[in-house]
Amino acid sequence: MANQFDTRTDTVVLIFSTLAVLIAATLSMATISTNHNTMATDSPDASERAEAAANAGVEAARWHIECHGRTEAGGLTPKYYVNGAIYTVEWDNVNMADSTVTVRSIGEFSWGDEDHNEIFVESKIKLEFLPTHNQDILKDYYSGR
């Protein structure tokens, strides 16, 4: 008798498990198709993304100057930004009298063949920190060679 009871319990568990898997699969497919349809119709704001990348370039320049003690002019090769855009940034020599530097950054974002935006940002930033050491080994990296 114990064997017959175990078989009935296993059958009930199997039926509920199968139903749970079918419900989960149905919900997953509904979610995938819903997200796919909204993504196809929503195009991103190309100018907004390009501007965000250009501003990120200014912050990247600030970080490189402050972290590595770069008082000479330099720049970074094009870098991908998190939103799919690209930024390119360069800076002048640091004005040691007031700890400022002029930074120029270009952010670019394209969406298909029709929507391409390029934003130019020029900013004079105040540096908060400059280390006392210079890392001469990095000159080639910042000169774009």
Give start and end residues of each alpha helix (H) in the chain.
2-41, 46-68, 139-143
pLDDT in tens, 51-83: 999 999 999 999 988 888 778 898 988 898 888
**4 and 65 in a common domain:** no
Paired residues of 115 in beta bridges:
111
Predicted local distance difference test score (pLDDT) of residue 69: 79
Please, are residues 54 and 120 in contact by the beta-carbon 8 Å criterion?
Answer: yes
**126 and 109 in a common domain:** yes
For residues 78 and 144, what is the distance between their CA atoms, to the nearest angstrom? 10
Predicted local distance difference test score (pLDDT) of residue 124: 94
**11 and 28 in a common domain:** yes
More confident residue, 45 or 141: 45
pTM of the model: 0.64
**89 and 34 in a common domain:** no
**86 and 37 in a common domain:** no
For residues 36 and 38, what is the distance between their CA atoms, to the nearest angstrom? 6
- Domain span including residue 63: 46-143
**92 and 56 in a common domain:** yes
Q: How many domains does the chain have?
A: 2
For residues 59 and 64, what is the distance between their CA atoms, to the nearest angstrom? 9
Q: What is the largest CA-CA distance in the chain?
A: 94
